[in-house]
Structure 1
Amino acid sequence: MDVVTSFYNVEKDQNPERLKQVPLPVVSPIPGDVVALLAGANLKWDALPRTAKNAVLWSLGYVRYGSEAEYTRVLALCPSGSSATVTMDSIQVSDKAVACDTVYSYCGYSKWINKACSAFSPSLAKCAINTSAVSSRVGSTKTSVYWGYTVDNYPLPPDVTLLKNDPLATSIPYSIHIQPVADLCATTSVLASTVPCINYTPLLSSTCAIAPSVKMQAWLTELSQATTLPPIP
């Protein structure tokens, strides 16, 4: 799922019901890389709509794991020695990368991908979680959902959330769920994109930087052109 575009479309549509479903991040202090990204577009955090706040946090690798004030930054896994940057959208596992795909129609929406298999390879993981940076408040998955894929026109806004997986079902300890509510539409369904993550250790050298997507940069430019804020000193 293209998370930035999904938030952008919610903002442009201005549907009151969908806007109410967008979480309001209350991170404090604002991470330095977030401040720097916005400063490059002559923007400040408080001037952003909540849709853009969520999109910016996602695009720099920040995911919520507890309340709207509890975020941690994930690390992207890359080939050893790589100096490339990646986007958060690119670390989502494609449905084609996981075996046992079956197409279903759930919850009144068309063509969801169901992954009923429980044996997944840890090599599919594309991010790492620094467990020292999160508390015990990380919730657990409530279904057999570990990761999956859905079309970009899912009717609810993204609600990016880090959850623990059941260790009896998969050796991959965490998943970033793009829309946890969608996981509950069927008992063994995978209805919203999720990102499998392993535990970070100091010996893990195959990480690379996460950079905002072209779409995120374009949205910030659009917001900058629409604002009348004075230049940032």
Structure 2
Amino acid sequence: MSRSAIKLHTPAGRKALDKMINEAERKAQETALTKGGKPVAPAKKAAGNGEIRIIGGQWRRTRLPVAQKPGLRPTPDRVRETLFNWLGQDLTNWKCVDAFAGTGALGFEAASRGASSVVMNEQDAALVQQLQRLREQLDAKAVKVQRGDGLSCLKSISGQDLVLLDPPFDLVDMFEAAVKAAAQAINDGGFIYLEGPEAWGEEQLQPLGLELHRYLKAGAVHAHLLKKLP
């Protein structure tokens, strides 16, 4: 098929063009290797949009578009489903904080299941705008979106039933301070969901007045549900 014959507005045309581009990249790599040079790297695709799916509650099965940004790691569907099974599905009248909201997957899930108050805190300005758009799209009146540092957010609140902690995995030094601040922010008997790159044990939790209520490892994700002791 000649280039001039390709109709880009049709699926067949786009498929044919992709095939031509891939074939050209393959030949370029072979030529570079034959000459003793380095292989030519394929062109990088521009970062597009992904999506998250709300698992349960009033917005069950609703799919929300989310930006794809370096380091952004939405909590997997399986882990979110397990978390809210642990919590009992119905969060009616719960007060919640999603301190490192990111895509908002955890916070919107809590709001979908009846939480009366969900503070979604995020530092990245573009993600804050995205969260605002999703809030409006869902008409999620219980959700408040704010921009700020996650640790400062935790230190400024109290009387919460659930704190959702999913800091960037590369901020290793922040985890201990975040868990400590979250422990002060929740009521006795309240919960902290902690998602991190390593498992937390009783020796780390007991000095903070917390116990490990549930635990799940899914790939590189260690998911903990912590409960505050009375």
Quickly name the TM-score band, shorter chain normalised: under 0.3
Give the TM-score of the pair, scaled to structure 1: 0.24
Give the TM-score of the pair, scaled to structure 2: 0.24
| Structure holding more strand per residue | 2
Greater relative contact order (Cα < 8 A, sep 6+) = 1
Please say which structure displays the higher CA radius of gyration.
2
| Structure holding more helix per residue | 2
